[in-house]
Structure 1
Amino acid sequence: MSLKRKPPAGNVRRVAAMGSNLRGTLTNKAGRIVQFESFAERSLLLRLERDHTVRDYASQPETFHSEEVPRYTPDFLVWKQDGCVEIHEVTRTERRKRAGHQAREQLASTICQTRGWRYVVHTETDLPQGYELSNLLSLVRYRPSVYRVEQLEETAICLLGERKMALSVLTREMVSQTGLPQPQVAASLCHALWHTYFMTNWQQPILLQASFTPQAQIWLANIENGVCS
């Protein structure tokens, strides 16, 4: 979705163009339009989108004011599945040393504490990077439910049992057993990995040119009794 003059519903401001920064919008898991104004913010949204403990999140939620801070609009408001609410800010380590930035963080921390919320600051040290980031960027396209095939998930559970398997090997066995085309099987597995129906190591490459890498493995978080009966 391209940016328009007015910000999306629930946003107090429209993200600004700053140099060559990446900015844009996405529709999140709850159907909400969310803005981002840097690649760092985009990477955080990928993690929030995949995090099953996160129910919903919004961008540019409100503007804080104080005598020391004339105006501060934090990046994101996050609602967790357990009812907790968090304000998330994305910045860089060197910026946190500035007096003005420290005043903003103190203001936000105080407001969040008063409301029973949590204030979370992200920097380049804890945002997705390396293989985790490349995997998130590769698999995000498979998050829509159109890729989910429950029959294939049940087949994967039966084939996996209590062991780990290479994703490429599992895909071949599922194609052989179900007769479904390889692209559909692979897409279904990618969807299941994105939504944490199955586990994998996100710190290793998963996809390379739309094919599973030889080292990418898959396994069950919990064994489901009765599925294979």
Structure 2
Amino acid sequence: MGWQYRINLFLYQVWCLLLDVVYSFVAAPVVFYPMTMGYVAGIAKSFDGSLYPITVFLFINLAVVGVAIKAMLLARYYAVLPNNHFLKAHNEMFVILILGWYILYVGSLATTALLIYPNILNNKPEFEKQFTCAAAVVIYAKDAFQHTSFIPLLYNAGVLVVLTITIGGSIIYLTFSAIKTSTHLSERTKNLQKKFLIHVALQGAIPAVFLGVPLVTLFCIFVFSIVNTQSE
């Protein structure tokens, strides 16, 4: 399973790099420096619906990072299975599982995003009336985050997060159990496999902490700012 692990490690690094770039140069400047980052408004105006396409991209990007992490964990599980195990006898199941995860994650988020897109566009005129003097910048950051229209995508992402944690935790448990009960691995190999698994698990925790938490904070800032504005 060496090549499967290396491919998914490469995909994991690519997805994380894309997420870092988009978050750092587009999302974060809009939130923390909305009036001085004119280039961001210029990017946003090229989209009908403002930063909504970029927002959806961030969701999908986080999703594919999660799939890559699960795929690396699954590769570690395959590595400790005996050769007579039915999963080892059908190596195509690994590819089918990974493709299925990508289709489920990307497909569900993209479908939800398309379904609520008309509501996102309907938010635009209201914000243009409410924030006339700041329409060049602020509107294009906020109108895609109207909380009533955006909730379905957040629910979809929440379900996928729970699914990722459940599947990832299950794979980690199964891998540790397989290592502990295996009779075809030496003690040295068992210890190495445990270390490899711990490294992958820690690698998966990095985007959850350093990418996921800032994005959750960003969305909370938008939601609370909109709610406070509407209450006033």
Q: Give the structure-1-normalised TM-score.
A: 0.24
More strand per residue: 1
More helix per residue: 2
Question: Which structure has more RCO (C-alpha within 8 Å, separation ≥ 6)?
Answer: 2
Q: Give the structure-2-normalised TM-score.
A: 0.23
